[in-house]
Structure 1
Amino acid sequence: MKILAGYLAGLLFGLGLAISGMTDPARVIGFLDVAGAWDPTLIFVLGGAVVTTFIGYRLVWRRQMPLFESRFQLPTRRDLDSRLLGGAALFGIGWGLSGYCPGPGVASLPEPSWPLAAFIMTLLLGWWLARRLSSAH
């Protein structure tokens, strides 16, 4: 059931990205182009995500435990270190340059393109590098 729930959540997320047009990197780049032809679409998608998350967390925290686990597992670290800040900066730079982030990139796989292939290759390289660096510590 846990795998099925994860699959259905991912499918719903991907459908939401496709329906909202967020799999189109031009929309993201248009949102970041505040001095040019600004496209505010992403603000509405992010606003919808914030409202959904706000309501969802209120409902989830009323439960004694998650549906498919024995307890809630929350992050315990609260500090900001160079690895977190560096990773966030790289993510933001990559998102701004390509218009893709991991969710929309994967959701765009049915319509392949060279920019998408370049994004997926760098995503996999970054994932591999992060795992390699984390095992070194």
Structure 2
Amino acid sequence: MRNLAAFASGLLFGLGLIVSGMANPAKVLAFLDLAGRWDPSLAFVMVGAIAIASIGFRLARARSTSVLGAPMQLPTASRIDPRLIAGALVFGAGWGLAGFCPGPALVSAASGQPRAWLFVAAMLAGMALFAVFERIAAQRRQSSR
């Protein structure tokens, strides 16, 4: 049942990305072009998403398990640190250069867009590099003890 719910949620999310235009890199780049022909429509999508998510998070905080019985796993970190800032900068640079972020890139790749496949390949390479660097850093921390 959980797998079916996860599939249905992912499908609904993907459809929402397509309908809202978030999976269209030209629309995203037009939204980010503040000094040119700015398209503010994605701002309304984002505000709507934040409003809905805030209701969901408020309801989730009042529960210890999900509707399907899984343990509730909400973020606990509240500190802004250099890693968060660096991650946000890399995310923003990728979004601004390509017009994709991870979710919409996967949706676009599934629809057969070659640019999305290139972005997804670069994203996976970046994730692999991060994992390698994290492993090296963990080994260094462990050996310095």
The share of aligned pairs that are identical, in percent, is 44
1:15-59 Cα distance to aligned partner (Å, 9 max, x none) = 001111211101110011111111011101101101111222233
Unaligned runs of 5+ in 2: 139-145
Q: Name 1:18's counterpart in structure 2.
A: 18
Contact 2:106-2:116 at 8 Å conserved across structures: no
Distance 1:126 1:111 in 2: 22
What RMSD, in angstroms, separates the aligned Cα atoms of the two structures?
1.8
Q: Name 2:29's counterpart in structure 1.
A: 29
Query: Equivalences for 1:46-57 in 2 at 5 Å?
Result: 46-57=46-57
Q: TM-score, normalised by structure 2?
A: 0.83
Unaligned runs of 5+ in 1: none
Distance 1:3 1:106 in 2: 19
* Structure 1 residue 134, shift from structure 2 partner: 2.0
* Structure 1 residue 85, shift from structure 2 partner: 1.6
* Higher RCO structure (Cα 8 Å, ≥6 apart): 1
**Corresponding letter in the other structure for 1:35:** A
Aligned residues: 137
Q: Name 2:143's counterpart in structure 1.
A: none
Q: Name 1:99's counterpart in structure 2.
A: 99
Q: Name 1:79's counterpart in structure 2.
A: 79
Q: TM-score, normalised by structure 1?
A: 0.88
**Which of the pair has more CA radius of gyration?**
2
